[in-house]
Amino acid sequence: MYTQGLDQKDKPAAAGQGTETPEQLEAFQARIDAEEKIEAKDWMPEAYRRTLIRQISQHAHSEIIGMQPEGNWLTRAPTLKRKAILLAKIQDEAGHGLYLYSAAETLGVSRDQMVADLLNGKAKYSSIFNYPALTWADIGTIGWLVDGAAIMNQIPLCRCSYGPYSRAMIRICKEESFHQRQGFDILVSLCNGTDKQKAMAQDALDRWWWPSLMMFGPSDKDSKHSAQSMAWKIKRFSNDELRQKFIDVTVPQAEFLGLKVPDDKLAFDESTGHYRHGEIDWQEFLDVLAGNGPCNRQRMAKRCKAHDDGAWVREAARAYATKHTAKHAA
Ligand SMILES: [Fe+2]
Ligand SMILES: [Fe+2]
């Protein structure tokens, strides 16, 4: 049902490919260089449109799939207050998904097509959400590291050249900052608690540290989309630059908590003012991306089931819309 009529929508744009003149491309780049925002109805190169559809829809899918590891802990939150905070956080993530799907729709792709691409495995989402949340300390660590890394990635997107995406990111970033704080606050409590609670926090950091660093994507030399995205001002900083910023900000926070970052090569370099770090296991990243992470199958199965379970809601909304239109046409 959800793939219906979608290819047609993609065709006119695809037909435009290759018909762009050097003058059009030059004028477009001049607008970007002048820091003008590109809006939905403006002319844009086909590759720019496709890059944004890919990036924004992946971002939306990540928000939606990212609700799963935390949703798993809603019934087991240790206090009513923690439960209310976690519930609000997860609802924010659903909202982020919706703003982002709407921003991508302005580029001419339908919501149905994006959802279909997620469910049939064609579209990717952030590899971090294929790791399990095993203890309550994982909920703190996800907020601290995963939302923390998301903020680092997303703040520069508030200045992205595509207007609808950049505007969606402003509100999202404000909410992500609350997410990061609620996670850190859970860890402050655990690290000031019993030895067992502190050990639980350390164990969570040991498991989430490296996957969090992978969230910034492959190293610059291996990142195939980076250079063009930087020229179009979709990206403002390279993957490695953002990863470094994240490490520099996060290591002192781990020290404040009294936790040890699981990297023996981690050291502050006085000459550069940055932390040096060990090698990231890119093979693990590629394996998870290829669908072989600890929870890939579980996450997709749950999303597909949620989509099927929601069929009656979509049907009812459609029936209502048809009735409403008929009433107003009469
Ligand atoms: Fe989010
Ligand atoms: Fe978040």
pLDDT at 114: 97
HSE value, Cβ hemisphere, 13 Å, CA-based, for 308: 7
Looking at 42-109, list the stretches that DSSP marks H as alpha helix, in order from N- to C-terminal side.
46-65, 67-71, 80-105
Which residue has better confidence, 215 or 12? 215
pLDDT at 227: 85
Considering only CA atoms, give the Rg of the chain.
21
Tell me, what amino acid is at 313?
A: V
Q: Which listed ligand is nearest to 146 at the C-alpha?
A: 2
**CA–CA distance, 299 with 129 (Å, rounded to integer):** 8
Distance (Å) from CA 319 to ligand 2 centroid: 34
Q: How confident is the model at residue 17 (pLDDT cuts 50, 70, 90)?
A: low
Tell me, what amino acid is at 293?
A: G
Asked if pLDDT for residue 4 goes beyond 50, the answer is no
Distance (Å) from CA 184 to ligand 2 centroid: 13
Q: pLDDT, tens digit, for every residue of 167-187?
A: 999 999 999 999 999 999 999
Asked if pLDDT for residue 218 goes beyond 50, the answer is yes
pLDDT at 169: 95
Distance (Å) from CA 98 to ligand 1 centroid: 10
Distance (Å) from CA 197 to ligand 1 centroid: 27
Q: How confident is the model at residue 321 (pLDDT cuts 50, 70, 90)?
A: very high
Long-range pairs for 34-43 at CB < 8 Å and ≥24 separation?
Answer: 35/161, 35/233, 36/161, 37/161, 37/162, 37/163, 37/166, 38/161, 38/162, 38/163, 39/163, 39/164, 40/106, 40/107, 40/163, 40/164
When pLDDT is averaged across residues 259-271 and rounded to a whole number, the result is: 97
Q: How confident is the model at residue 330 (pLDDT cuts 50, 70, 90)?
A: confident
Q: Is 117 exposed, middle or buried (0-12, 13-18, 19+ CB in 10 A)?
A: buried
Distance (Å) from CA 11 to ligand 2 centroid: 34
Q: Is 200 exposed, middle or buried (0-12, 13-18, 19+ CB in 10 A)?
A: buried
Distance (Å) from CA 63 to ligand 2 centroid: 8
- In the structure encoding, which two tokens stand for residue 303, read together? 């999303």
Q: How confident is the model at residue 7 (pLDDT cuts 50, 70, 90)?
A: very low
Find out whether 154 and 103 touch, Cβ atoms under 8 Å. Answer: no
Residue-averaged pLDDT of the chain: 92
- In the structure encoding, which two tokens stand for residue 121, read together? 């495995």
Q: Which helix (H) or strand (E) holds 250?
A: helix 239-257
Distance (Å) from CA 96 to ligand 1 centroid: 5
Q: pLDDT, tens digit, for every residue of 90-120?
A: 999 999 999 999 999 999 999 999 999 999 9
When pLDDT is averaged across residues 66-72 and rounded to a whole number, the result is: 95
Asked if pLDDT for residue 9 goes beyond 60, the answer is no
Q: Is the pTM of this model over 0.85?
A: yes
Distance (Å) from CA 24 to ligand 1 centroid: 35
- In the structure encoding, which two tokens stand for residue 237, read together? 């900083």
Asked if pLDDT for residue 221 goes beyond 90, the answer is no
When pLDDT is averaged across residues 28-35 and rounded to a whole number, the result is: 96
Distance (Å) from CA 286 to ligand 2 centroid: 24
Q: Which listed ligand is nearest to 148 at the C-alpha?
A: 2
Q: pLDDT, tens digit, for every residue of 238-261?
A: 999 999 999 999 999 999 999 999
Q: Which listed ligand is nearest to 98 at the C-alpha?
A: 1
Asked if pLDDT for residue 2 goes beyond 60, the answer is no
pLDDT at 273: 96
Place of tokens 């459609």: 318
Q: How confident is the model at residue 18 (pLDDT cuts 50, 70, 90)?
A: low
**CA–CA distance, 220 with 240 (Å, rounded to integer):** 6
Q: Is 56 exposed, middle or buried (0-12, 13-18, 19+ CB in 10 A)?
A: buried
When pLDDT is averaged across residues 225-248 and rounded to a whole number, the result is: 92
When pLDDT is averaged across residues 74-96 and rounded to a whole number, the result is: 97
